[in-house]
Amino acid sequence: MDRETIIYSDESLLNTPVTLTNCDREPIHIPGSVQPYGFLLCLEPETGRVVHASENTLALIGTPAEDLIGRGLDTVLGAGTIAEIEQLLPSLTEVTKLLGARLENVAGQPFYKIIMHRYDGLLWLEFEPVDETSASVLDLPSLNLALGQMMGAAAVLEFCQLAVDQVRDITGFDRVLMYKFAEDASGEVVAEAKHDDLEPFLGLHYPATDIPQQARALYLKNWLRFIPNVDYVPAKLVPVLHPTANRPPDMTYAVLRSVSPIHLEYMRNMGVGATMTISIIQDDVLWGLITCHHITPRLVSYELRELCLFLGKTFSALLKTKQQQDEQAYRLHIRNIQVRLFELVGRHSNFVEGLYQRMPTIRDAFSCGGAAICFEGDIISLGVTPTQEQIRDLIEWLKVNVQDNVFYTDSYVKHNPEGLAIRGVASGFIAISLAQEAGDYIIWFRPEQIQTVTWAGKAQKAEVLQDGQLKLSPRQSFEAWAQTVVNTSAPWLPLEIEAAKEIRLHLSDVRLKVFNELQTRAASLARLNSELERSNDELDSFAYVASHDLKEPLRGIHNYSIFLLEDYADKLDSEGVGRLQTLVRLSQRMEALIESLLQLSRVGRQEMTVTETNVQELVEDLVDLLHPRFEQTNTHVTIVDPLPTFRCDAVRVREVFNNLLTNAMRYSNHPEKQIRVGLAPEGTLGPKGTGQRDNFYVFYVQDNGIGIDPRHHEAIFKIFKRLHPQEKYGGGTGAGLPIARKMVEKQDGELWVESGLGQGATFYFSLSKHL
pLDDT digits (tens, 9 = 90+) for 699-725: 999 999 988 888 878 878 775 545 544
Q: Is the dihedral of CA 258, 261, 267, 268 positive or negative?
A: positive
Q: In the predicted model, what is the mean pLDDT of the chain?
A: 80
Among 705, 697, 602, CA closest to 662: 705
**Poorest-confidence range of 174-183, 323-332, 350-359?**
350-359
> How distant is the alpha carbon of residue 661 from its chain centre?
45
Q: State residue 515's pLDDT score.
A: 52
The percent of residues in the chain predicted with pLDDT above 90, rounded, is 32
C-alpha–C-alpha distance, residues 169 and 599, integer Å: 77
* pLDDT, tens digit (0-9, with 9 covering 90-100), for 258-271: 988 878 887 887 78
Q: Say which residues have a Cβ less than 8 Å from residue 394's Cβ, sequence separation at least 6.
A: 386, 412, 422, 426, 429, 431, 443
Among 23, 54, 481, CA closest to 218: 23
Between residues 561 and 227, the one the model is more confident about: 227
- Could you tell me the fold of the domain covering 138-230+272-326? Beta-Lactamase (3.30.450)
Phi/psi at 610 (5° precision): -95, 125
- According to CATH, what is the number of the domain 351-492? 3.30.450.270
Are the folds of 1-130+235-251 and 607-771 the same? no
Q: State residue 225's pLDDT score.
A: 92
Local confidence band at 18 (pLDDT 50, 70, 90 cut-offs): very low
Q: State residue 594's pLDDT score.
A: 56
| Highest mean pLDDT of the ranges 29-38, 478-487, 532-541 | 29-38
Local confidence band at 646 (pLDDT 50, 70, 90 cut-offs): very high
Give the helix, strand, coil percentages of the chain, each rounded to 5: 45, 20, 35
Task: Kindly tell me if the per-residue pLDDT of 44 is higher than 50.
Answer: yes
Between residues 433 and 567, the one the model is more confident about: 433
Local confidence band at 356 (pLDDT 50, 70, 90 cut-offs): confident
The percent of residues in the chain predicted with pLDDT above 70, rounded, is 77
β-pairing verdict for 673-679 and 635-639:
parallel
CATH 3.30.450.20 fits 607-771, yes or no: no
Q: State residue 456's pLDDT score.
A: 33
Task: Kindly tell me if the per-residue pLDDT of 571 is higher than 90.
Answer: no
Rounded to an integer, the average pLDDT of 120-133 is 84
Task: Kindly tell me if the per-residue pLDDT of 453 is higher than 70.
Answer: no
- H or E segment to which residue 324 belongs: helix 302-347
Between residues 547 and 321, the one the model is more confident about: 321
Rounded to an integer, the average pLDDT of 734-743 is 78
Task: Kindly tell me if the per-residue pLDDT of 529 is higher than 80.
Answer: no
The domain limits of the chain are 1-130+235-251, 138-230+272-326, 351-492, 505-606, 607-771
Q: Domain 1-130+235-251 belongs to what architecture? A: 2-Layer Sandwich (3.30)
